[in-house]
Structure 1
Amino acid sequence: MEFIDREREIEVLSREWRNRPSFVVLYGRRRVGKTRLMREFSKDKRTSFFTFPEAIKEVQMREFKRAIASFLGDELILKVETDNWFDLLSYLAERVNDCLIVLDEFTYAIKSDRKILSDLQRVWDGILSEKNVMLVISGSLLGMMWDDVLSHASPLYGRRTRSIHLKPLDYPNALKFFRDGEYGIRAYMLVGGIPPYLRLASRYSSIEEFVREEFLSDYGLFYDEPYVILGEELRELKSYFSVLRAIAEGNRRLERIANYLGLPARSVYPYIETLMRLGFVEKETPILGSRKVSLYRISDPVLLSWFVLTYPQMTDISSGTARLDDLYKVFSVRFEDLAREFLLLKRPLEFETLGRWWFRGEEIDIMALGKDTASLIEVKWKDLSERDARRVLKELEGKSTLVRFEGTFRFGIIARNIEGKEELRDEGYLAWDLGDFY
């Protein structure tokens, strides 16, 4: 399978390789491509690569000994009787030099025995930090990586020379998985930039077929994927699911989420705070105006798609009667995200900051602020006639009277397709559709 993007991460890793001894912490959500990245990076290097299984400590240690024996060509390690990681890690460290050591899915080892943190710290301080070695530890359990590996309280604090938070692919790189650009855009809006999800979507010839088979079938990958994504990180899954369901149904203010759940806001906020910390939810404040007026949104595309399409239809899925009626809701929300990403990556206009604006019931999907110019942009997942587009632009001009900005306003629209796009541009309006995204 083709390895797509990650040039920046490869360059960072290469710099660490040149500056050995080095200690890199690589973390990112499940399936984002951490293992594949390290496999690619390690291809031309002498590498000890071990992926911790999600198992009890004894199983992990037995597998680790086998991996060391294979790497060193030394079966004596198989006869070592020990119940602590220090013995095994120091055995490897004392016998290597000029190599790369990758401890993949390290958080599974922490779950089985937290003492591995202090054992690894002792091995790094006493042996590896004096050798021409690059050590990489990676993990998918973000809460554990932050609390147990990266925090001030971790035994490993102060040892790392670099940390890399591996993010999903952006949309231009996601499109490389697809032959058809518009199909790729729709798939990206549904599942985001997670390589295995994109690869799965690329097998299908239509979005409708993809959604039916993978979201609306009890044999589909995404039928229970959120239980895996959230279950690894969180307890009290029912409470977190309820918060996410509330947001997916349009309850974006804290008080409305609390009312949906029938709980006081102070009881709900800790759940939202945890979801934000893990990157599943984002807090939005208006780009101009009071920062106290906050909205919450599901930022993980798969979770948004699942809570809109799959979760409400669990009974219908079991009986084979699930419908695609709400697919438009996902695209409407995600097309705004995509439009912002398009503006940030392609830079078809100049601006310093980008965000949403709302005030007293009025909203503007995107406001791009420059020093002297504010571009107000409406986003529509629709095919617009020139007449419809002009009506939307006229409404934006009306909303601009409520915006407190001392400068010039420009008005624009981003839609699936815009008839008369060039004529609008000639008149000074901003106008882009999917044809400009590729």
Structure 2
Amino acid sequence: MTFYDREAELDALETAFESPGHEFFVVYGRRRVGKTELLKEFCEEQPHLYFLASQEAESRQREKFVEKVADYFDDRVPRVDGWDDAFDYLGEKLAAEPLIVVIDEFPYLVEENDSLPSYLQSFVDERLQDTESMLALCGSSVSTMESEILAHESPLYGRRTGQIDLQPFSFQQAREAIAYDFDDAIRSYAVTGGTPMYLTLFDYTQPLAENIQTQVLSPTAVLYNEPEFLLRTELRNPARYMSILEAVATGHTTPNEIAGATGIDSGPLSKYLQTLRRLRLIDREVPVTASAKQSKRSRYLVADEFLRFWFRFVEPNRSSIEEAPTVVYNNTIEPNLPDYVATTFEDVCREAVWAAIRRDELGPYSEVGRWWYGGDEIDIVGLAPDDDRVLLAECKWTTEPVGYSLATTLQDNAEQVRWGPNTRDEEFALFSKSGFVDGLAEELDDNWSLFSLTEMDTLLSPVS
């Protein structure tokens, strides 16, 4: 697999290892996000020992770990009776030679022995800190990594010298991997999202329709059952969670709507939603002008574009896909794809807003997000509290050029956004897939910015 991006994370790891003293890094994030590839890329030209834990008996895991250490140092495999002996053996070896030690899928070890963090605490305090070596613990179970390493109650709390919470690629980061023109790249990203594995499965010499049919709708393809596989690795009984994800992906975004679509009462539903948020499968969103802790106007969104696509188009049509995948694509997916991609386009536009802010073409603004109240909604609102300035923007993924009516509507809706003083400054922006009607730019004043796909492509390209 080609390694893309991650320059900031690689720099952080390399800087840490090259600095004096020991390092204890924690690398975690959702499955398939590229944690292992990041660590392997980092270790490639450095002295390192990489141990991948597995779901098997504790004694066998410990034996394999010690064998790995002995093999690296060309040593006879010692007999150890527990993890304390195993880490003592590693500590003896590290005293003589700086080394990167990676323990991948660390949660598997904790599953078999929940005292492991205590053994590691002793190793870090008594062995690692007197060396020039680095220990990196990696895991896909975000909840386990946070509770067993990062949480205040963990024996390892306060020992880490750094952590990387690895996120999926943004659209801007994913562009390096998506070899389509800008508009098709947005469509493709709406299907794969920013998960590196999913991005690299597509053949970008083929049309997007072909990739969807061969890589997602084919029962033999990896992505066909991927979401179900991911849920089964995290949850013992995924059925209700799958029904919630399908409800959210098909437009039921408030707790009441989700409860109505799934038949799950509000009490249990709240716990299911918390679990899905903890697993980073859904996000909770409130209007950008509201307090995340206090607002009751929350919406839930599927946190990954591929999962949203799968629960929107694949899961509800599994029986038909098994029989006639091309018919499902032609009759169900293709006609609804523009509306589906429109949501992703809003996210890409928000990335463009931040890019424009960094380039001093907008703002600056400290917060950027959606806004809604009652029946009113604005795709993008940016807030600059120190300057009493607000940005209001709309995004249109349509086949027709944007005209005066959208500008007028946006200006009218601005009055509904209750934020800042009456004397606040207002800045406006329009984003359009199909450009703008002739003369619109000339009719609007200097408070307006218009972004076509060409301008967005420039904003989201690396600065030369």
Number of residue pairs the alignment of both structures matches:
433
Residue 369 (str. 1) matches residue 357 (str. 2):
no
Mapped contact 1:190–1:330 kept (Cα < 8 A): no
The verdict on how the C-alpha distance between 1:202 and 1:176 changes in structure 2, with shifts beyond 3 A counting, is farther
RMSD: 2.2
When structure 1 is superposed on structure 2, of 21-30 and 264-273 the one drifting more is 264-273
AA matched with 1:30: R
Q: 1:189–1:334: 8 Å Cα contact kept in structure 2?
A: yes
Q: Identify the residue that residue 450 of structure 2 maps to in structure 1.
A: 431
Identical-pair percentage: 30
1:380–1:414 CA contact under 8 A, matched in 2: yes
Q: Is the 1:366–1:376 Cα contact (8 Å) retained in structure 2? A: yes
Quote the residue 1:273 is aligned against: 274
The structural deviation recorded for 1:24 is 0.8
Contact 1:353 1:368 (8 Å CA) reproduced? yes
Conserved? CA contact 1:142–1:233, under 8 Å: no
The alpha carbon displacement at 1:426 in A equals: 6.7
Q: Please state how far the C-alpha of 1:170 moved relative to its aligned partner.
A: 2.3
Other-structure match for 1:399: 413
| Contact map agreement 1:47 1:102 (CA 8 A) in 2 | yes
| Aligned residues of 1:106 and 1:139 also touching (Cα < 8 A) | yes
Q: What aligned pairs does 1:243-282 form with structure 2 within 5 A after superposition? A: 243-282=244-283
Residue pair 2:382, 2:392 contacting (<8 A) in 1 also: yes
- Letter of the structure 1 residue corresponding to residue 400 of structure 2: L
What is the rounded CA distance, in whole Å, between the counterparts of 1:220 and 1:399 in structure 2? 46
Residue 351 of structure 2 is aligned to residue 341 of structure 1: yes
- Confirm or deny that 1:12 pairs with 2:12: yes
Name the aligned partner's letter for residue 281 of structure 2: F
Q: Does 1:414 align with 2:415?
A: no
Deviation of 1:384 after TM superposition, in Å, equals 2.6
Q: Give the CA deviation at 1:326.
A: 3.3
From 360, 378, 384, the counterpart of 2:374: 360
Bigger Cα displacement from structure 2, 398-407 vs 103-112: 398-407
Determine if the alignment matches structure 1 residue 384 to structure 2 residue 384: no
> 2:236 maps to what in 1?
235
Give, in whole Å, the separation in 1 of the partners of 2:442 and 2:215: 40
Displacement of 1:143 in angstroms is: 1.3
Check 1:2–1:318 CA distance in 2 against 1; reply closer, same or farther (3 A cut): closer
Are residues 1:179 and 2:188 paired? no
Q: Secondary structure at the match of 2:397?
A: strand
Q: 1:31 is matched with which residue?
A: 32
Q: CA deviation at 1:315?
A: 0.6
- 2:461 is aligned to none
List alignment gaps of at least 5 residues for structure 1.
none
Q: C-alpha separation between the residues in 1 aligned to 2:227 and 2:383?
A: 36
> AA paired with 1:42?
C
Q: Which residue of 2 aligns with 1:296?
A: 300
Say which SS state the counterpart of residue 109 (structure 2) adopts: helix
Aligned to 1:166: 166
Whether 1:197 aligns to 2:198 is: yes
Other structure's SS at 2:380 match: strand
Shift of 1:115: 2.7
Distance 1:269 1:49 in 2: 40
- How big is the shift at 1:310? 0.7
CA-CA distance at 1:66 after TM superposition: 3.1
Q: Quote the Cα distance in structure 1 between the aligned partners of 2:216 and 2:343.
A: 18
CA–CA distance in 1 between the matches of 2:188 and 2:244? 25
Counterpart Cα distance in 2 of 1:153 and 1:288: 34
Deviation string 1:163-187 (CA, Å, 9 cap, x unpaired) is 2111122222211113333233322
Deviation at residue 191 of structure 1 after TM alignment? 1.9
The amino acid across from 2:394 in the alignment is E
Unaligned ranges ≥5, structure 2:
458-464
Q: Residue 395 of structure 1: CA displacement?
A: 1.9
Once the two structures are superposed, what CA deviation does each residue of 1:120-157 show, in whole Å capped at 9, x if it has no partner? 22222222222221111111111111122211222222
How far off is 1:81 after superposition? Answer: 5.5
1:434 and 1:105 map into 2 onto residues whose CA distance is 41
Note if 1:330 corresponds to 2:336.
no
Counterpart Cα distance in 2 of 1:236 and 1:425: 58
**Matched residue, 2:219:** 218
* CA distance in 1: counterparts of 2:263 and 2:201, whole angstroms: 39
CA 1:421–1:106 in structure 2 vs 1: closer, same or farther (change >3 Å)? farther
Structure 2: how far apart are the matches of 1:117 and 1:372? 48
Looking at structure 2, the residues matched to 375 and 131 of structure 1 have their Cα atoms a distance apart, in angstroms, of 51
Contact kept, 8 Å, 2:382 with 2:390, in 1: the verdict is yes
CA change 1:226–1:359 in 2 (3 A) is same
Cα distance per residue 1:344-376 (max 9 Å; x no partner) = 234241123212111221111111233343222
Check the 8 A contact 1:383/1:415 in 2, yes or no: no
Which amino acid counterpart does residue 401 of structure 1 have in structure 2? E
- Give TM-score scaled by structure 2 length: 0.87
SS in 2 for 1:367: strand
Q: 1:42 to 1:114 in 2, by over 3 A?
A: same
- Mapping of residues 74-223 of structure 1, within 5 Å: 74-77=75-78, 80=79, 82=81, 84-96=82-94, 97-182=97-182, 183-223=184-224
User: Secondary structure in 2 aligned to 1:322?
Assistant: helix
Tell me, yes or no, if the aligned pair for 1:141 and 1:232 is still in contact at 8 Å: no
* Residues in 2 aligned to 1:342 and 1:202: alpha-carbon distance in whole angstroms: 26
> How far is the alpha carbon of 1:15 from its aligned partner?
2.9
1:422 Cα deviation after fit: 7.9
Secondary structure at the aligned position of 1:90 is classed as helix
| CA drift at 1:268 | 0.8
Report the residue type matching 1:139 in the other structure.
Answer: G
Residues 311/15 of structure 1: CA separation in 2 closer, same or farther (3 Å cut) = same
Contact 1:421 1:432 in 2 (8 A): no
Distance 2:141 2:10 in 1: 22
The residue correspondences of 1:55-66 to structure 2 (distance < 5 A) are 55-66=56-67
**8 Å Cα contact 1:379-1:413 kept in structure 2:** yes
Normalising to structure 1: TM-score of the pair? 0.92
Contact 2:392 2:427 in 1 (8 A): yes
